[in-house]
Structure 1
């Protein structure tokens, strides 16, 4: 499934207007850019990327993805997606 929106955590503000995006109210946004105060988010994501499976699908800290799905997503399948992410976290922790 394709998500109805995406949330990007970045180190610096990036202007996406050159790529055809335009500012929107949060309720109407299809992409949200977050520049977190916590710099460990990218560090953990980079570490997890090094441990990524062959398909390379680990792109962020799964705990942040889980939080965003449960607290920020307006997608109707976010609860189902959160369950999948939580299962993956629990499976990884069990190793």
Structure 2
């Protein structure tokens, strides 16, 4: 296996959401499609969606190897400093 992908499930996948715009002082529901409110509502909804997507971001990792690992002859086990584990000592391949 050389590639691993995890797809995150978002609230949009699980729930049907209804949005209303309401005046908090008089509890009147406002028309969110009005000329002044529409851009504000759209901006707020997009910002909220973006933050949620960042929290639950799906990630993908692809494992690659260099020619040096294919010909590797392992020696006896020893303690290695953690800083030395991030790259191939014979080329620029990292992690």
Superposition TM-score, scaled by structure 2 size: 0.26
What TM-score do the two structures reach when normalised by structure 1?
A: 0.26
More helix, by proportion: 1
Does 1 or 2 have the higher relative contact order (CA < 8 Å, sep 6+)?
2
More strand by share: 2
Q: Which of 1 and 2 has greater Rg?
A: 2
